Amino acid sequence: MVSWFGRRAKRLEIPRLTGRGESLPTMKVDLGELVPPLPQFLGQAAYMELGVFESLAQAATAAPTVTVKGQLSRSAGLALAKHEALVGELRRHGSDPAEAMAPFAAELDAFRRMRAGATWPESLIGCYLTTGLLDDFFAALAVGLPGDTRSRVVKLIEQDAGFAVVVTEVTRAIAVDPKLASSLALWGRRLVGDTLLVARSALHVSGDLSRDESRIEPVFTEIIAAHTRRMDELGLTA
């Protein structure tokens, strides 16, 4: 068993799945009981999506062709739309969006800079894999939100994020230079740790560590399994 609280930290076991190309299943478990207060949840999720917009816009600027620049810009627009929908939820609940997001800015800005990596393919993978993980995580956590908000928020987090272009471009880059695969696989594995720290920071834990861990573990196992499928889809060994 993995400890998310660092007490019994051991090497993370990442399951290796083989069903390349199969559609990602919806999470079967949820973290509803560990959801933080609504403004905190929405503030963190909204600022996270704003960072996805920034990362994708930056990747668009560095894109090698006009076609790919256009595709990545559209993906950035989808992330911006998610951000704005979450900001709309904050307003609907009487929260000031900037105030709700501000506590998460420093950590998520650093996280955004980290995932940019050193090369364009790394920046693409960095944005895709971390956003996949965090979207899955926030969707699992959103199950604990009250009433109507829950279904609206889960639905908008699960919207298509326009990452098909990333899969296409990374696959193309590896086809051109097969040696890339091992360094990109390493990069994909390295991203997991920092991403789980961001996820961990969003949990509203009860204080009963062993009880919390027993709730968290199956969700994180599923989240890691979905990450592994994304790596697989990119042709990378997880």
Please give the DSSP secondary-structure letter assigned to residue 64. S
Binding flag, residue 3, its own copies (CB under 8 A): no
| Burial of 2 (C-beta count, 10 Å sphere; 0-12/13-18/19+) | middle
Contacts 24+ apart (CB under 8 A), 66-71: 68/165, 68/169, 71/162, 71/165
Binding flag, residue 17, its own copies (CB under 8 A): no
Alpha-carbon Rg of the chain, whole angstroms? Answer: 17
Question: Structure tokens of 16?
Answer: 């290796």
Q: Rounded to the nearest whole angstrom, what is the least distance from the CB of residue 79 to its own copies in the complex?
A: 10
Q: Rounded to the nearest whole angstrom, what is the least distance from the CB of residue 70 to its own copies in the complex?
A: 7
Contact with its own copies (CB under 8 A) among 12, 102, 118, 175 = 102
Maximal CA-CA distance, the chain: 53
Residue where the block lists tokens 């009433």: 147
Q: Rounded to the nearest whole angstrom, what is the least distance from the CB of residue 153 to its own copies in the complex?
A: 18
Compute the half-sphere exposure of residue 170: CA atoms within 13 Å on the CB side of its CA: 30
Number of residues that bind its own copies (CB under 8 A): 27
Q: Rounded to the nearest whole angstrom, what is the least distance from the CB of residue 59 to its own copies in the complex?
A: 11
Q: Rounded to the nearest whole angstrom, what is the least distance from the CB of residue 81 to its own copies in the complex?
A: 8
Piece in contact with its own copies (CB under 8 A), picked from 29-37, 81-89, 189-197, 217-225: 81-89
Binding residues for its own copies (CB under 8 A):
47, 50, 53-54, 57-58, 60-61, 65-67, 69-70, 73-74, 76-77, 80-81, 83-84, 87, 97-98, 101-102, 105
